Chains A and B, each alone.
Chain A
Protein backbone atom coordinates (compact mmCIF):
# COMPACT_ATOMS: atom_id res chain seq x y z
CA UNK A 1 0.00 0.00 0.00
CA UNK A 2 2.79 2.38 1.05
CA UNK A 3 4.83 1.36 -1.99
CA UNK A 4 1.97 2.11 -4.38
CA UNK A 5 1.49 5.52 -2.72
CA UNK A 6 5.22 6.18 -3.16
CA UNK A 7 4.97 5.25 -6.86
CA UNK A 8 2.06 7.65 -7.25
CA UNK A 9 3.96 10.49 -5.58
CA UNK A 10 7.08 9.80 -7.66
CA UNK A 11 5.04 9.75 -10.88
CA UNK A 12 3.25 13.00 -9.99
CA UNK A 13 6.52 14.66 -8.98
CA UNK A 14 8.20 13.51 -12.14
CA UNK A 15 5.28 14.67 -14.33
CA UNK A 16 4.83 18.11 -12.82
CA UNK A 17 8.12 19.12 -11.18
CA UNK A 18 10.82 17.54 -13.29
CA UNK A 19 11.82 19.34 -16.44
CA UNK A 20 11.97 17.00 -19.43
CA UNK A 21 15.21 16.96 -21.38
CA UNK A 22 13.77 18.82 -24.35
CA UNK A 23 11.51 21.18 -22.40
CA UNK A 24 12.65 24.69 -21.55
CA UNK A 25 10.14 25.20 -18.74
CA UNK A 26 8.88 22.89 -16.02
CA UNK A 27 5.17 22.25 -16.00
CA UNK A 28 4.64 23.44 -12.45
CA UNK A 29 6.36 26.78 -13.17
CA UNK A 30 4.05 27.44 -16.12
CA UNK A 31 0.97 26.35 -14.15
CA UNK A 32 1.91 28.80 -11.38
CA UNK A 33 2.47 31.51 -13.97
CA UNK A 34 -1.01 30.81 -15.44
CA UNK A 35 -2.57 31.07 -11.99
CA UNK A 36 -0.84 34.42 -11.41
CA UNK A 37 -2.10 35.60 -14.81
CA UNK A 38 -5.67 34.54 -13.98
CA UNK A 39 -5.54 36.35 -10.62
CA UNK A 40 -4.17 39.49 -12.26
CA UNK A 41 -6.93 39.28 -14.89
CA UNK A 42 -9.50 38.84 -12.14
CA UNK A 43 -8.41 42.04 -10.42
CA UNK A 44 -8.03 43.96 -13.71
CA UNK A 45 -4.36 44.86 -13.35
CA UNK A 46 -3.41 47.49 -15.97
CA UNK A 47 -0.43 45.46 -17.18
CA UNK A 48 -2.74 42.58 -18.10
CA UNK A 49 -5.01 44.92 -20.03
CA UNK A 50 -2.04 46.27 -22.02
CA UNK A 51 -0.85 42.71 -22.68
CA UNK A 52 -4.32 41.71 -23.79
CA UNK A 53 -4.75 44.69 -26.13
CA UNK A 54 -1.35 44.03 -27.75
CA UNK A 55 -2.13 40.33 -28.17
CA UNK A 56 -5.58 41.13 -29.55
CA UNK A 57 -4.15 43.32 -32.29
CA UNK A 58 -1.75 40.60 -33.44
CA UNK A 59 -3.90 37.53 -32.96
CA UNK A 60 -7.13 38.83 -34.50
CA UNK A 61 -5.33 39.52 -37.77
CA UNK A 62 -3.39 36.24 -37.67
CA UNK A 63 -6.55 34.38 -36.78
CA UNK A 64 -8.40 35.95 -39.72
CA UNK A 65 -5.72 34.63 -42.07
CA UNK A 66 -5.64 31.20 -40.39
CA UNK A 67 -9.43 30.93 -40.76
CA UNK A 68 -9.46 31.62 -44.51
CA UNK A 69 -9.29 27.97 -45.70
CA UNK A 70 -12.08 26.87 -43.39
CA UNK A 71 -14.14 29.95 -44.23
CA UNK A 72 -13.82 29.08 -47.92
CA UNK A 73 -15.07 25.53 -47.31
CA UNK A 74 -17.95 26.93 -45.29
CA UNK A 75 -18.85 29.47 -47.99
CA UNK A 76 -18.66 26.84 -50.76
CA UNK A 77 -21.07 24.53 -48.93
CA UNK A 78 -23.49 27.44 -48.43
CA UNK A 79 -23.26 28.41 -52.13
CA UNK A 80 -24.07 24.84 -53.20
CA UNK A 81 -26.99 24.72 -50.77
CA UNK A 82 -28.30 28.09 -52.01
CA UNK A 83 -28.19 26.92 -55.63
CA UNK A 84 -30.44 23.99 -54.75
CA UNK A 85 -32.90 26.28 -53.02
CA UNK A 86 -32.79 29.05 -55.62
CA UNK A 87 -36.16 28.61 -57.32
CA UNK A 88 -38.12 28.21 -54.08
CA UNK A 89 -36.43 31.27 -52.61
CA UNK A 90 -37.15 33.29 -55.76
CA UNK A 91 -40.89 32.64 -55.50
CA UNK A 92 -40.99 33.56 -51.80
CA UNK A 93 -38.92 36.70 -52.40
CA UNK A 94 -41.18 37.80 -55.25
CA UNK A 95 -44.26 37.55 -53.04
CA UNK A 96 -42.53 39.42 -50.22
CA UNK A 97 -41.37 42.17 -52.57
CA UNK A 98 -44.89 42.84 -53.77
CA UNK A 99 -46.09 43.18 -50.17
CA UNK A 100 -43.16 45.40 -49.22
CA UNK A 101 -43.66 47.73 -52.15
CA UNK A 102 -47.20 48.30 -50.93
CA UNK A 103 -46.05 48.93 -47.38
CA UNK A 104 -43.22 51.27 -48.35
CA UNK A 105 -45.66 53.85 -49.61
CA UNK A 106 -46.91 54.38 -46.08
CA UNK A 107 -43.58 54.10 -44.24
CA UNK A 108 -42.06 57.49 -45.07
CA UNK A 109 -45.21 59.28 -44.00
CA UNK A 110 -45.36 57.32 -40.72
CA UNK A 111 -41.69 58.01 -39.91
CA UNK A 112 -42.01 61.76 -40.32
CA UNK A 113 -45.27 61.79 -38.38
CA UNK A 114 -43.64 59.73 -35.59
CA UNK A 115 -40.69 62.10 -35.36
CA UNK A 116 -42.98 65.13 -35.20
CA UNK A 117 -45.08 63.55 -32.45
CA UNK A 118 -42.03 62.55 -30.39
CA UNK A 119 -40.78 66.11 -30.40
CA UNK A 120 -44.26 67.21 -29.41
CA UNK A 121 -44.29 64.97 -26.31
CA UNK A 122 -40.64 65.85 -25.56
CA UNK A 123 -39.40 62.25 -25.85
CA UNK A 124 -35.77 61.38 -26.15
CA UNK A 125 -34.90 61.98 -29.78
CA UNK A 126 -31.92 60.07 -30.99
CA UNK A 127 -29.58 60.39 -33.86
CA UNK A 128 -27.06 57.85 -34.92
CA UNK A 129 -23.47 57.78 -36.09
CA UNK A 130 -22.92 54.85 -38.40
CA UNK A 131 -19.87 52.80 -39.25
CA UNK A 132 -19.64 49.71 -41.43
CA UNK A 133 -17.31 46.97 -40.24
CA UNK A 134 -16.19 43.66 -41.69
CA UNK A 135 -16.45 40.57 -39.53
CA UNK A 136 -12.89 39.31 -39.16
CA UNK A 137 -13.65 36.32 -36.99
CA UNK A 138 -16.90 34.60 -36.22
CA UNK A 139 -15.87 32.39 -33.32
CA UNK A 140 -19.04 30.36 -33.14
CA UNK A 141 -17.73 28.61 -30.07
CA UNK A 142 -20.04 26.47 -27.91
CA UNK A 143 -18.97 28.63 -24.97
CA UNK A 144 -19.14 32.19 -26.17
CA UNK A 145 -20.98 33.79 -29.08
CA UNK A 146 -19.04 36.79 -30.25
CA UNK A 147 -17.57 38.30 -33.42
CA UNK A 148 -14.44 40.32 -34.09
CA UNK A 149 -14.91 43.43 -36.25
CA UNK A 150 -12.18 45.29 -38.16
CA UNK A 151 -13.01 48.68 -36.63
CA UNK A 152 -11.54 49.90 -33.36
CA UNK A 153 -10.88 52.99 -31.29
CA UNK A 154 -9.08 54.63 -34.24
CA UNK A 155 -12.42 54.56 -36.11
CA UNK A 156 -14.25 55.99 -33.05
CA UNK A 157 -15.80 52.68 -32.00
CA UNK A 158 -17.02 52.89 -28.42
CA UNK A 159 -18.09 50.38 -25.79
CA UNK A 160 -21.82 49.62 -25.89
CA UNK A 161 -22.37 50.57 -29.55
CA UNK A 162 -25.18 48.66 -31.21
CA UNK A 163 -24.21 46.15 -33.90
CA UNK A 164 -26.73 45.80 -36.70
CA UNK A 165 -27.04 43.42 -39.62
CA UNK A 166 -29.10 45.38 -42.18
CA UNK A 167 -31.75 46.89 -39.90
CA UNK A 168 -31.70 44.12 -37.29
CA UNK A 169 -29.91 44.18 -33.95
CA UNK A 170 -27.33 41.39 -33.63
CA UNK A 171 -25.20 42.46 -30.66
CA UNK A 172 -23.26 45.15 -28.89
CA UNK A 173 -19.61 46.14 -28.59
CA UNK A 174 -17.99 44.76 -25.42
CA UNK A 175 -14.29 45.19 -26.15
CA UNK A 176 -12.50 47.91 -28.12
CA UNK A 177 -8.91 47.65 -29.30
CA UNK A 178 -6.98 50.08 -31.50
CA UNK A 179 -8.01 48.63 -34.86
CA UNK A 180 -10.44 45.86 -33.90
CA UNK A 181 -13.34 45.33 -31.56
CA UNK A 182 -15.40 42.45 -30.18
CA UNK A 183 -19.19 42.33 -30.27
CA UNK A 184 -21.16 40.07 -27.96
CA UNK A 185 -23.98 38.55 -30.00
CA UNK A 186 -27.60 38.60 -28.79
CA UNK A 187 -27.50 34.78 -28.75
CA UNK A 188 -24.76 34.66 -26.08
CA UNK A 189 -25.81 33.44 -22.64
CA UNK A 190 -24.43 36.62 -21.09
CA UNK A 191 -26.43 38.95 -23.35
CA UNK A 192 -29.47 40.64 -21.72
CA UNK A 193 -31.38 43.26 -23.70
CA UNK A 194 -34.50 45.17 -22.60
CA UNK A 195 -37.12 44.62 -25.28
CA UNK A 196 -40.64 45.54 -26.16
CA UNK A 197 -43.00 42.99 -27.70
CA UNK A 198 -45.48 44.30 -30.24
CA UNK A 199 -48.43 44.26 -30.50
CA UNK A 200 -49.27 44.87 -26.84
CA UNK A 201 -46.22 46.91 -25.78
CA UNK A 202 -45.14 44.11 -23.41
CA UNK A 203 -41.83 44.90 -21.70
CA UNK A 204 -39.38 42.04 -21.24
CA UNK A 205 -35.71 41.05 -21.21
CA UNK A 206 -34.28 39.14 -24.14
CA UNK A 207 -31.61 36.73 -22.97
CA UNK A 208 -29.28 34.71 -25.19
CA UNK A 209 -29.47 30.94 -25.00
CA UNK A 210 -25.96 30.10 -26.21
CA UNK A 211 -27.62 28.64 -29.33
CA UNK A 212 -29.21 30.22 -32.41
CA UNK A 213 -32.28 31.53 -30.60
CA UNK A 214 -33.09 33.86 -27.69
CA UNK A 215 -35.40 33.53 -24.69
CA UNK A 216 -37.82 36.11 -23.31
CA UNK A 217 -37.63 36.54 -19.55
CA UNK A 218 -39.25 38.56 -16.78
CA UNK A 219 -42.63 39.44 -18.20
CA UNK A 220 -46.11 38.81 -16.89
CA UNK A 221 -47.21 35.23 -17.46
CA UNK A 222 -50.69 36.38 -18.48
CA UNK A 223 -49.24 38.58 -21.26
CA UNK A 224 -50.68 37.69 -24.59
CA UNK A 225 -47.83 36.60 -26.84
CA UNK A 226 -48.85 35.38 -30.22
CA UNK A 227 -46.96 33.81 -33.06
CA UNK A 228 -46.87 37.07 -35.03
CA UNK A 229 -45.38 39.15 -32.20
CA UNK A 230 -42.26 41.10 -33.12
CA UNK A 231 -39.48 41.84 -30.65
CA UNK A 232 -37.98 45.35 -30.71
CA UNK A 233 -35.47 47.06 -28.44
CA UNK A 234 -37.37 49.01 -25.78
CA UNK A 235 -34.76 51.72 -25.30
CA UNK A 236 -34.80 51.21 -21.50
CA UNK A 237 -31.39 51.74 -19.99
CA UNK A 238 -30.46 54.20 -22.73
CA UNK A 239 -28.01 51.89 -24.50
CA UNK A 240 -30.01 51.37 -27.68
CA UNK A 241 -32.73 53.50 -29.15
CA UNK A 242 -36.20 52.01 -29.06
CA UNK A 243 -37.69 50.19 -32.01
CA UNK A 244 -34.75 48.27 -33.47
CA UNK A 245 -36.20 44.94 -34.67
CA UNK A 246 -34.52 41.82 -33.27
CA UNK A 247 -36.68 38.80 -33.98
CA UNK A 248 -40.01 37.09 -33.78
CA UNK A 249 -41.61 34.40 -31.62
CA UNK A 250 -40.37 30.97 -32.69
CA UNK A 251 -43.34 29.36 -34.39
CA UNK A 252 -42.23 25.81 -33.63
CA UNK A 253 -41.96 26.48 -29.89
CA UNK A 254 -44.09 29.49 -28.87
CA UNK A 255 -44.86 28.26 -25.35
CA UNK A 256 -41.14 28.29 -24.37
CA UNK A 257 -40.90 32.02 -25.23
CA UNK A 258 -38.12 31.28 -27.69
CA UNK A 259 -37.18 33.99 -30.18
CA UNK A 260 -36.02 33.44 -33.73
CA UNK A 261 -33.61 36.21 -34.71
CA UNK A 262 -34.24 38.03 -37.98
CA UNK A 263 -30.52 37.75 -38.80
CA UNK A 264 -28.66 34.52 -39.26
CA UNK A 265 -25.93 35.10 -36.67
CA UNK A 266 -23.65 32.45 -38.16
CA UNK A 267 -23.56 34.24 -41.54
CA UNK A 268 -22.49 37.76 -40.62
CA UNK A 269 -20.07 39.35 -43.09
CA UNK A 270 -20.54 43.09 -42.76
CA UNK A 271 -22.23 44.81 -39.84
CA UNK A 272 -23.16 48.37 -38.99
CA UNK A 273 -21.95 49.90 -35.74
CA UNK A 274 -24.23 52.58 -34.42
CA UNK A 275 -24.10 54.82 -31.39
CA UNK A 276 -27.15 56.78 -30.38
CA UNK A 277 -26.89 60.31 -29.09
CA UNK A 278 -29.45 62.83 -27.95
CA UNK A 279 -30.05 65.06 -30.93
CA UNK A 280 -30.84 68.02 -28.65
CA UNK A 281 -27.30 67.89 -27.17
CA UNK A 282 -25.71 68.55 -30.54
Chain B
Protein backbone atom coordinates (compact mmCIF):
# COMPACT_ATOMS: atom_id res chain seq x y z
CA UNK B 1 0.00 0.00 0.00
CA UNK B 2 2.60 2.56 -1.02
CA UNK B 3 1.09 5.84 -2.21
CA UNK B 4 2.94 5.96 -5.53
CA UNK B 5 0.77 3.15 -6.85
CA UNK B 6 -2.54 4.81 -5.98
CA UNK B 7 -4.88 7.21 -7.78
CA UNK B 8 -4.06 10.96 -7.33
CA UNK B 9 -7.07 11.63 -5.04
CA UNK B 10 -6.35 8.64 -2.83
CA UNK B 11 -2.67 9.64 -2.75
CA UNK B 12 -3.64 13.16 -1.63
CA UNK B 13 -5.95 11.82 1.08
CA UNK B 14 -3.21 9.56 2.44
CA UNK B 15 -0.64 12.38 2.34
CA UNK B 16 -2.94 14.80 4.11
CA UNK B 17 -4.48 12.25 6.50
CA UNK B 18 -2.65 13.78 9.52
CA UNK B 19 -4.03 17.21 8.61
CA UNK B 20 -7.57 15.85 8.17
CA UNK B 21 -7.23 14.05 11.51
CA UNK B 22 -6.04 17.28 13.15
CA UNK B 23 -9.09 19.22 11.97
CA UNK B 24 -11.48 16.42 12.98
CA UNK B 25 -9.87 16.19 16.41
CA UNK B 26 -10.07 19.94 17.12
CA UNK B 27 -13.69 20.06 15.98
CA UNK B 28 -15.12 17.19 18.01
CA UNK B 29 -14.75 15.55 21.38
CA UNK B 30 -11.88 13.32 20.33
CA UNK B 31 -10.47 12.93 23.83
CA UNK B 32 -12.46 9.95 25.15
CA UNK B 33 -13.89 12.17 27.87
CA UNK B 34 -17.21 10.31 27.76
CA UNK B 35 -15.53 7.40 29.55
CA UNK B 36 -16.08 9.56 32.65
CA UNK B 37 -12.95 8.39 34.43
CA UNK B 38 -11.88 10.92 37.00
CA UNK B 39 -9.06 13.17 35.69
CA UNK B 40 -8.84 11.15 32.48
CA UNK B 41 -8.39 13.15 29.30
CA UNK B 42 -5.64 13.63 26.79
CA UNK B 43 -4.79 16.19 24.18
CA UNK B 44 -4.72 14.37 20.87
CA UNK B 45 -3.80 17.47 18.78
CA UNK B 46 -0.60 17.89 20.84
CA UNK B 47 0.47 14.34 20.00
CA UNK B 48 -0.44 14.70 16.34
CA UNK B 49 1.28 18.06 15.87
CA UNK B 50 4.47 17.08 17.67
CA UNK B 51 4.83 13.75 15.90
CA UNK B 52 4.16 14.96 12.37
CA UNK B 53 6.15 18.22 12.76
CA UNK B 54 9.06 16.09 13.89
CA UNK B 55 8.82 13.24 11.42
CA UNK B 56 7.22 14.63 8.29
CA UNK B 57 6.62 18.37 8.54
CA UNK B 58 5.24 18.67 5.00
CA UNK B 59 2.14 16.73 6.13
CA UNK B 60 1.08 19.55 8.47
CA UNK B 61 1.68 23.14 7.31
CA UNK B 62 2.23 25.77 10.00
CA UNK B 63 -0.57 27.86 8.52
CA UNK B 64 -3.02 24.97 8.80
CA UNK B 65 -1.90 24.28 12.36
CA UNK B 66 -2.55 27.91 13.25
CA UNK B 67 -6.05 27.72 11.71
CA UNK B 68 -6.70 24.45 13.59
CA UNK B 69 -5.77 26.36 16.76
CA UNK B 70 -8.34 29.05 15.95
CA UNK B 71 -10.98 26.35 15.39
CA UNK B 72 -10.11 24.78 18.73
CA UNK B 73 -10.44 28.14 20.50
CA UNK B 74 -13.90 28.60 19.02
CA UNK B 75 -15.06 25.07 19.90
CA UNK B 76 -13.74 25.13 23.48
CA UNK B 77 -14.62 28.79 24.05
CA UNK B 78 -11.12 30.08 24.69
CA UNK B 79 -9.97 33.56 23.58
CA UNK B 80 -8.80 33.69 19.96
CA UNK B 81 -5.16 32.82 19.33
CA UNK B 82 -4.42 30.93 22.56
CA UNK B 83 -4.50 27.40 21.14
CA UNK B 84 -2.84 28.58 17.91
CA UNK B 85 0.13 29.91 19.86
CA UNK B 86 0.34 26.72 21.93
CA UNK B 87 0.29 24.53 18.82
CA UNK B 88 2.93 26.65 17.09
CA UNK B 89 5.18 26.40 20.14
CA UNK B 90 4.93 22.63 19.91
CA UNK B 91 5.87 22.87 16.22
CA UNK B 92 8.88 25.01 17.20
CA UNK B 93 10.07 22.49 19.76
CA UNK B 94 9.62 19.64 17.29
CA UNK B 95 11.56 21.58 14.61
CA UNK B 96 14.34 22.25 17.15
CA UNK B 97 14.59 18.55 18.00
CA UNK B 98 14.67 17.74 14.27
CA UNK B 99 17.53 20.21 13.77
CA UNK B 100 19.72 18.99 16.63
CA UNK B 101 19.41 15.26 15.96
CA UNK B 102 20.16 13.26 12.87
CA UNK B 103 17.92 10.38 13.83
CA UNK B 104 15.84 10.44 17.01
CA UNK B 105 14.93 7.39 19.01
CA UNK B 106 11.48 6.98 20.48
CA UNK B 107 12.60 7.29 24.10
CA UNK B 108 14.43 10.62 23.57
CA UNK B 109 11.55 11.87 21.50
CA UNK B 110 9.09 10.83 24.21
CA UNK B 111 10.99 12.63 26.98
CA UNK B 112 11.38 15.74 24.82
CA UNK B 113 7.63 15.58 24.16
CA UNK B 114 7.02 15.67 27.92
CA UNK B 115 9.20 18.80 28.23
CA UNK B 116 7.39 20.34 25.25
CA UNK B 117 3.86 19.77 26.56
CA UNK B 118 4.88 21.00 30.02
CA UNK B 119 6.11 24.28 28.52
CA UNK B 120 3.19 24.58 26.07
CA UNK B 121 0.54 23.84 28.72
CA UNK B 122 2.22 26.21 31.18
CA UNK B 123 2.15 28.97 28.54
CA UNK B 124 -1.48 28.20 27.75
CA UNK B 125 -2.38 28.22 31.45
CA UNK B 126 -0.50 31.47 32.13
CA UNK B 127 -2.22 33.23 29.24
CA UNK B 128 -5.66 32.07 30.35
CA UNK B 129 -5.31 33.03 34.00
CA UNK B 130 -3.29 36.23 33.63
CA UNK B 131 -4.87 37.80 30.52
CA UNK B 132 -8.39 36.44 30.67
CA UNK B 133 -8.99 35.45 34.34
CA UNK B 134 -10.28 32.02 33.33
CA UNK B 135 -10.11 29.49 36.17
CA UNK B 136 -8.75 26.02 35.44
CA UNK B 137 -8.60 22.86 37.51
CA UNK B 138 -4.98 22.00 38.34
CA UNK B 139 -5.63 18.29 38.80
CA UNK B 140 -7.44 18.02 35.47
CA UNK B 141 -4.54 19.87 33.87
CA UNK B 142 -1.91 17.55 35.38
CA UNK B 143 -4.02 14.50 34.46
CA UNK B 144 -4.29 15.80 30.91
CA UNK B 145 -0.51 16.29 30.62
CA UNK B 146 0.22 12.87 32.10
CA UNK B 147 -2.17 10.97 29.83
CA UNK B 148 -1.08 12.96 26.77
CA UNK B 149 2.51 11.96 27.60
CA UNK B 150 1.59 8.27 28.05
CA UNK B 151 -0.55 8.14 24.91
CA UNK B 152 2.24 9.66 22.81
CA UNK B 153 4.14 6.37 22.94
CA UNK B 154 1.13 4.43 21.67
CA UNK B 155 0.20 6.91 18.93
CA UNK B 156 3.84 7.34 17.84
CA UNK B 157 3.98 3.59 17.32
CA UNK B 158 0.75 3.65 15.27
CA UNK B 159 1.96 6.65 13.21
CA UNK B 160 5.32 4.92 12.61
CA UNK B 161 3.48 1.92 11.17
CA UNK B 162 1.31 4.26 9.05
CA UNK B 163 4.40 6.02 7.72
CA UNK B 164 6.11 2.74 6.89
CA UNK B 165 3.08 1.53 4.97
CA UNK B 166 2.04 4.74 3.24
CA UNK B 167 5.29 6.67 2.70
CA UNK B 168 7.72 3.74 2.81
CA UNK B 169 9.13 5.27 6.00
CA UNK B 170 10.34 8.45 4.27
CA UNK B 171 10.69 11.13 6.95
CA UNK B 172 12.42 14.49 7.43
CA UNK B 173 15.21 12.81 9.43
Question: Which residues 123-164 of B sit at the A interface, judged by CB distance below 8 A?
Answer: 127, 131-132, 134-137, 140-141, 143-144
Does A52 have its Cβ within 8 Å of any Cβ on chain B?
A: yes
Q: Cβ of A266: which chain B residues have Cβ within 8 Å of it? A: 34, 36
A37 touches B71 (CB 8 A): no
Q: Is the beta-carbon distance between B77 and A140 smaller than 8 angstroms?
A: no
Q: Which of B68-113 contact A (CB under 8 A)?
A: 69-71, 74-82, 84-85, 88-89, 91-93, 95-96, 98-100
Complex Cα spacing A55 to B143, Å: 30
The yes or no answer to A201 lying at the interface (CB within 8 A) is no
Cβ–Cβ contact B77 & A146, under 8 A: yes
Q: Does B96 lie within 8 Å of A15, measured CB to CB? A: yes
Q: Is the CB of B57 within 8 A of A59?
A: no
- Closest chain A CB from B168 CB (angstroms): 18
**What residues of A have a CB within 8 angstroms of the CB of B99 in the complex?**
10-11, 14-15
Rounded to whole Å, the gap between the CB of A132 and the closest CB of chain B is 22
CA–CA, A211 and B78, complex, Å: 18
- Interchain nearest-CB distance for A149 vs B (Å): 13
Asked whether A156 is an interface residue with its Cβ less than 8 Å from the other chain, the reply is no
Choose from B38, B57, B136 the contact partner of A20 (Cβ within 8 Å).
B57
Q: How far is the CB of A178 from chain B (nearest CB, A)?
A: 14
A52 to B80, Cβ gap below 8 A?
A: yes
Q: Does any Cβ of B come within 8 Å of A27's Cβ?
A: yes
Hey, which chain B residues are within 8 Å of A20, CB to CB? 57-58, 95
Do B140 and A142 touch (CB < 8 A)? Answer: yes
Q: A-side binding surface: helix, strand, loop or mixed?
A: helix
User: What are the residues of chain B within 8 A of A35 when measuring CB–CB?
Assistant: 81, 85
Which among B89, B132, B136 is the interface contact of A143 at CB below 8 angstroms? B136
Q: Which residue of A lies closest to B147 (CB)?
A: A142
Residues of B contacting A190 in the complex (Cβ-Cβ under 8 angstroms): 134-135
Interface stretch of the complex, out of A66-74, A91-99, A108-116, A216-224: A66-74
Flag whether B115 is at the interface (Cβ < 8 A). no
Beta-carbon contact of B81 and A27 below 8 Å: no
* Bound CA span A113–B106, Å: 72
Judging by beta carbons under 8 Å apart, are A175 and B77 in contact? yes
Identify A30's interface contact among B30, B34, B66, B74, CB under 8 A.
B66
A107 interface residue (CB < 8 Å to B): no
A34 B66 Cβ-Cβ under 8 A: yes
Chain B residues closer than 8 Å to A60, beta-carbon distance: 74-75
Q: Is the CB of B28 within 8 A of A38?
A: no
Q: Is B29 an interface residue (CB 8 A)?
A: yes
A134 on the B face (CB < 8 A): no
Which residues of the partner chain B approach A56 to less than 8 Å between Cβ atoms?
Answer: 74
Q: Is the CB of A140 within 8 A of B29?
A: yes
Return 25 A-B CB contacts under 8 Å, by A number: A15-B92, A15-B93, A22-B58, A25-B61, A26-B62, A27-B62, A30-B84, A31-B85, A31-B89, A35-B85, A36-B81, A52-B74, A59-B75, A63-B28, A66-B28, A141-B29, A141-B33, A142-B33, A142-B41, A143-B141, A144-B77, A144-B78, A189-B135, A190-B134, A266-B36
Chain A residues within 8 Å of B, Cβ to Cβ: 7, 10-12, 14-16, 20, 22-27, 30-31, 33-38, 40-42, 48, 51-52, 55-56, 59-60, 62-63, 66-67, 70, 74, 77, 137-144, 146, 175, 182, 189-190, 209-212, 266
Interface residue ranges, B against A (CB under 8 Å): 23-24, 27-31, 33-34, 36, 38-39, 41, 57-58, 61-63, 66, 69-71, 74-82, 84-85, 88-89, 91-93, 95-96, 98-100, 127, 131-132, 134-137, 140-141, 143-144
Rank and list the top 4 A-B pairs by shortest CB-CB distance, nearest first: A37-B81, A15-B95, A210-B137, A34-B85
